[in-house]
Amino acid sequence: MPEEGVSLTPKSDLLTTEEILTLARLFVKEGVDKIRLTGGEPLIRPDVVDIVAQLHRLEGLRTIGVTTNGINLARLLPQLQQAGLNAVNISLDTLVPAKFEFIVRRKGFHKVMEGVHKAIELGYKPVKVNCVVMRGLNEDELLDFVALTEALPLDVRFIEYMPFDGNKWNFRKMVSYKEMLDTIRQRWPGLEKLPEEDSSTAKAFKIPGFQGQVSFITSMSEHFCGTCNRLRITADGNLKVCLFGNSEVSLRDHLRSGASEEELLRIIGAAVGRKKRQHAGSFLMLEDSPPASWSTFFWDPLCVRNRSARENFSDKMATLWKRLHVPMALPLSRQCLGSGSPQRHYSYYPDSDTHSTCLSKGSQDPAVPPGPGPTSTQLTHVDSEGRAAMVDVGGKPDTERVAVASAVVLLGPVAFKLVQQNQLKKGDALAVAQLAGVQAAKLTSQLIPLCHQVVLSHVQVQLELDSTRHAVLIQASCRARGPTGVEMEALTSAAMAALTLYDMCKAVSRDIVVAEVKLISKTGGQRGDFHRA
């Protein structure tokens, strides 16, 4: 809850009970079999029990869930269970009462825990506990949350901190899934991966002998857009096909103007057809937007997943569900240097099972002998007549290739301070530069005319703030197995990250200098290794 509070949504703008049920019937008729009431806080709506009861009567609806802050859960859950509620998620970001009060701006931690135990008592299994992990706020409680699963049938779900309007998202606050997993495995090395369900948004793990389990929702570091089948409807009736997207279509307005069922389906199908494959990506929810306070209605009444075999939701909807099963993995993490200076890296893995490896100056393939190899006395990209030509690498053997390049961006004191404090109007310059560096490495053959197209197995871009020089030090590492090196990929990555920093900061200073773009090291290939002294 923001310290300054939130603006309230007029009651007349919210979906009425009948409008909620009309939309629910429409989606269930078209194959939706799970609806989740969320928000915000759905349990402060006076008719929530009646809504659940009427949803329960819909033929074909298998699951009715609720995501709640838990304050009113212990009081209402017996009635909700009798009405047909069969899944419970409780949002809880801390196990420290004082910190809880700081986060939500009110007391109530013990009521939430009472709600957790009431759900267990009534036989909900598992009871899901959602915890958004934020660096500097609650990442130190990871092990305490996991310990709850030893004696309680909980599914503690750690959620990567995501950017939403008003939450003042900062890249530095995000704790990646891999970092959380490493922390937990240091305490419980026997942590086991559980099979993933189709269209699941969570990666589940279990410690042998524990009653419960832990899960990770990796929206930022390893997005699941390729298999997401969620849609969301806000409390004021806007359809969102992606939680991250700003695009909304008002179903409320069409309902109130007398739109037929066929017209609504066409509108929904058109919106879903625009769903993107990455973070703008179909599950159905009703949420509260714009935000409301604790005393008003936060509603996400339709959370729809697992469509049935019927494919009459419009041609675009059917096509969408088929094409959504295209998983991609872009692990994103943040590390700290021993000196305490912030250093972050963004890594790309075509194979999602590949583990992160930090490529430093000393990284090399053991199969490649160290030491400098022979250099050519002639330019290899020029033919016998002096014309540009691409080298034929078809006869060369495949070897492990690693290259590291660097660059320096001298920002000056004003721009450096804004970058350091993440105060630039364009946003987080370091995060954008990292992404640009990764993208540039993958596009090198399109930028440098005679470069071969290389299938990279790993790209890592690291940025370090140097306060003595008011500079950002960039290091880019690339790895591939093939007949040609990846020096140009590493150099292009470092250079593009540097240029992106310039672009992010140029409104503040035109005196920025991009300097020292150079190869630090390369390993693999017939010409041997190179390490800059």
Side-chain-side CA neighbours of 158 within 13 Å: the count stands at: 31
CA distances from 470 to 379, 409, 415, 419, 464 (A): 38, 9, 8, 10, 11
Span between the terminal Cα atoms of the chain, in Å = 53
The catalytic residue positions are 503
For 4, which DSSP code?
A: T
Rg (CA), the chain: 26
Taking the C-alpha atoms of residue 146 and residue 155, their distance in angstroms, rounded to an integer, is: 9
Taking the C-alpha atoms of residue 82 and residue 61, their distance in angstroms, rounded to an integer, is: 16
Q: Is 78 helix (H, G, I), strand (E, B) or coil?
A: helix
- For 337, counting Cβ atoms within 10 Å of its Cβ (0-12 exposed, 13-18 middle, 19+ buried), the class is exposed
CA distances from 303 to 17, 202, 286, 383 (A): 16, 16, 6, 63
Q: Which of 437, 417, 419 lies closest to 500, judged by CA?
A: 437
Q: Which of 414, 471, 474, 412 lies closest to 438, judged by CA?
A: 474
Evaluate whether 27 touches 284 at the Cβ level (below 8 Å): yes
Q: Name the token pair of 456.
A: 């990279």
Taking the C-alpha atoms of residue 104 and residue 339, their distance in angstroms, rounded to an integer, is: 34
Taking the C-alpha atoms of residue 452 and residue 147, their distance in angstroms, rounded to an integer, is: 51
Taking the C-alpha atoms of residue 269 and residue 317, their distance in angstroms, rounded to an integer, is: 5
Q: Which of 530, 532, 529 lies closest to 368, judged by CA?
A: 529
Burial letters for 258-288: b for 16+ Cβ neighbours within 10 Å, e otherwise?
A: eeeeeebbebbbebbeebeeebbbbbbbbbb
How long a stretch of residues is the chain?
533
